[in-house]
Amino acid sequence: MGRRKIFAGNWKMYKTYSEALELVNGLKAGLKKTAGREYILFPPSPYLKDISALCVSTPFVTGAQNMYSENQGAFTGEISPLMVKDCGASFILIGHSERRHVFHETDEDVNRKVKAALAHGIEPLLCIGELLNERENGETVSVLKRQIHGAFSGIEKSAAEKVSIAYEPVWAIGTGKVATPEIAEKAHVSIRDIIKELYGEDLALSVPILYGGSVKPDNIAGLYKMNNIDGFLVGGASLEIKGFLEIINI
């Protein structure tokens, strides 16, 4: 069936302001827009408003890399859903492996953020994935099930339909390793099976599931041929104009 195709670049904590402007202008100039594809940029939050303005009337939209689940309050260093929307962003990354494993966000934290994003009309891009030891111990599916059940706890189907998912095996992020197309496809099928258990087959078949984890121009073709891979969440390769254009123009 015709699922949404999403190509996203997560800039993480990289780029000065001038470098960020150069990057987005280069991407705008070099994009060969393909019908049916969505293109999302996740810049660092200090640049989010200006990058959003640069993307107006282009195929690109923006998202925030993180946010807190409260609208306002004494939460030094955090940004709220209201701030994300005010900066012109329409997406939010939630549950990225670095948020989970570096900053120790729990499944409950992820769930609160998903609910806050949905309440404010911001589309969550939910990140899930297993550690190397979890894969080696045969725990991939159980980890994905725990993360998905945790993220969607208390969320009705009508709201869950607005969530996209990115499968990012933690052992393949920034390591140079990448899941083979077959490994990635198998995980994506498992994710659809878990969504089917929660919400039924129609939502399981329609949810966009992206792959993330050392995606580069030289490995994207095989991954994109897989039936259940609907796009990519790109990290390091999204920081360089030529390489990211090769990915999103595939």
3-state secondary structure string, 136-166? HCCCHHHHHHHHHHHHCCCCCHHHHCCCEEE
129: left (phi over 0), alpha (psi -120 to 50) or beta: left
Bridge partners for 6 per DSSP: 38, 231
Cβ atoms 181, 223 nearer than 8 A: yes
Paired with 61 in beta bridges are: 40
Catalytic residues: 96, 168
- What DSSP character marks residue 197? H
What are the start-end ranges of the E strands in the chain?
5-10, 37-42, 60-64, 91-94, 123-128, 164-167, 209-211, 231-234
232: β partners: 7, 211
CB 165 within 8 A of CB 208: yes
Buried-exposed string 160-183: b where 16+ CB fall within 10 A, e elsewhere? beebbbbbbbbbbbeeeebbebee
Contacts of 155 (CB under 8 A, 6+ apart): 111, 114, 115, 118, 163
